[in-house]
Structure 1
């Protein structure tokens, strides 16, 4: 009798667990749907110029869509990501054959000195990245995340001293990941901090699609009063770290963000969030799928 009752209790617990899991999944899907619908209403379609806080402006071309805050964060959270308070928004393309996403963050770090870029060594920076990634793998393992391996540069660090632009990208491998995605990182330095424009796409497409990030970076400029060259050593704050830190990840350590596993805070991708790029591509696919479904429904309604 006890065995029979125990079996019933196990079945009841299992049924309750399945019911709760099912309800939770339905709630998650509904939240994703609501988040995307809100993003669709808030999107800014190119060609147009967009204000990036009170710091800068970016000009996006036709077929590009900018999702601002707070809608951008709601989308990220609905897909299982944590908070990313420095995100300004993200950009996607409305073309079906383009499944990239470019996030824009602003970090109020203070003025970052760029003099070290004259003498930095790409091999030394890569070694630092590898060592930092190995150390970070210990924390990733504790959190149940797959370990990462740095395979090498996709784009060696390049700094344009005239425009104060930084570009770099590395190839990483994560255990268990079948699809390889990449984060192509670009930065624009300002008087009070820096903007990060990070492109997430398929590694196979980076050769042709990195131009997307480069062009958007070139279309970004700080407004008067916030420009890098307007720095005043008597009044302005200076960052605790230099330019190389935006490559090696020292900036992340100094800001105490090593425990942060929030996808799409991509400026810290080198040590913290690499390996979730596939999620970015997935978000774009889901967004476009929902848009196509919506357009299809509207078409059917019109025909009726």
Structure 2
């Protein structure tokens, strides 16, 4: 059990109290689920600098100042936070800094080779409308799972694609449907690296007020990711390889909102954790950083 006399413990207990408002029903209490998830993270976390192998696809050269939490501990934490995890999930990334307010979710989608020729003909207004429609469709699932419906607020960063490096970046803000105008706005800062057999997403979750200072972390992590030889986008063989059923624009349009579900993740985490920041005096990422730092110091 955590020592209730410490600030770290108080922050975690405040976190668990907030989780009671949105975590799904289970046989274990939210407090015990969270405590078990934190312990699993402590046991498996890797501090940078380190080389993280992402299945048989890529490597992430995790810089100093970052913490990697692999599966299955990452999925356990996501479930404890009230979110679903799936087979696409690779791990979570946290900052070691107690002042930072973000986390990143890494996933791999074995969609096949994604043709990027539609990027030159993008219409951001059409992509925006597609996102709204995809979000409306995904809201049906959110309601069924007990989450609030979401609404798109607007672009934080319009889609940009680097054709030489095969990297896609875009960001959209979303909030609970019907929420007051001054309610916390969750941000998904989405980055994608395309490979021969699919793509890896590193999506940073933060708040609108923090996105400008935090998005360089997403760009740093994206730059640290490289596909292995034979799995690179340039290794594609048209005569043998699978081609994805959708193009690059789908990773910005309705598919991003409907299938990938990252907006649901932002609402389920950041809008709720803003209360933890007020209660505990520190961001939830800082709470995790303290847990990890204690383990590192002991080691």
TM-score band, normalised by shorter chain: 0.7 to 0.9
Distance 1:27 1:251 in 2: 32
Give TM-score, length-normalised by structure 1: 0.77
Q: Indicate which of 199, 219, 230 corresponds to 1:194.
A: 199
Q: 1:185 corresponds to which residue?
A: 190
Supply the distance in 1 between the matched residues of 2:60 and 2:209 (Cα, whole angstroms).
Answer: 27
CA–CA distance in 2 between the matches of 1:209 and 1:290?
17
Tell me the CA shift for residue 159 of structure 1. Answer: 0.4
Query: Paired residue for 2:74, among 55, 62, 72?
Result: 72
Shift in Å, 1:143: 4.5
Preserved CA contact (<8 Å) 1:200 1:280:
no
Distance 2:232 2:184 in 1: 39
Of structures 1 and 2, the larger Rg is shown by 1
Instruction: State the secondary structure of the residue aligned to 2:252.
Output: helix
Distance 1:162 1:121, change over 3 A: same
In the other structure, the counterpart of 1:289 is 287
Question: Aligned pair 1:276/2:281, yes or no?
Answer: no
Aligned-residue RMSD, C-alpha: 3.0
Provide structure 1 residue ranges, at least 5 long, that are not aligned to the other structure: 1-23, 258-266, 300-304
Distance 1:98 1:290 in 2: 11
Give the Cα separation in 2 of the matches to 1:138 and 1:31.
27
Give distance in 2, aligned partners of 1:51 and 1:37: 22
Equivalent-residue separation in structure 2 for 1:67 and 1:293 (angstroms)? 13
Counterparts in 2 of 1:29 and 1:173: CA distance versus 1, 3 Å: closer
- Aligned match of 1:54: 56
Matches within 5 A, 1:37-186: 37-174=39-176, 175-176=178-179, 178-186=183-191
Q: Using the alignment, how far apart are the partners of 1:91 and 1:100 within structure 2?
A: 9
Q: How far apart in 1 are the matches of 2:257 and 2:186?
A: 22
The TM-score, its normalising length taken from structure 2, stands at 0.79
Provide the C-alpha distance between the structure 1 equivalents of 2:49 and 2:206, rounded to a whole number of angstroms: 22
The 1:52/1:217 distance shift into structure 2, 3 A limit, reads same
- Secondary structure at 2:261's aligned position in 1? helix
Is the contact between residue 249 and residue 268 of structure 1 (CA under 8 Å) also seen in structure 2?
no
Contact between 1:152 and 1:172, CA under 8 Å: does it hold in 2? yes
Q: Distance in 2 between matches of 1:81 and 1:43?
A: 20
Q: 1:173 to 1:224 in 2, by over 3 A?
A: same
Shift of 1:64: 0.7
- After superposition, the C-alpha distances for 1:197-237 in whole angstroms (9 at most, x for unaligned) are 00001110111211110111011010001000000011110
Does structure 2 retain, via aligned residues, the 8 Å contact 1:146–1:176?
no
**Relative to 1, partners in 2 of residues 1:181 and 1:27: Cα closer, same or farther, differing over 3 Å?**
same
1:246–1:211 CA distance, 2 compared to 1 (3 A): same
Is the deviation greater in 28-37 or in 283-292? Answer: 283-292
Q: Which moved more, 1:190-199 or 1:40-49?
A: 40-49
CA distance in structure 2 between the aligned counterparts of 1:197 and 1:119, rounded to whole angstroms: 25
Distance in 1 (alpha carbons) for counterparts of 2:233 and 2:191: 16
Verify: 1:206 aligned to 2:186, yes or no. no
Change (3 A) 1:143 1:57: closer
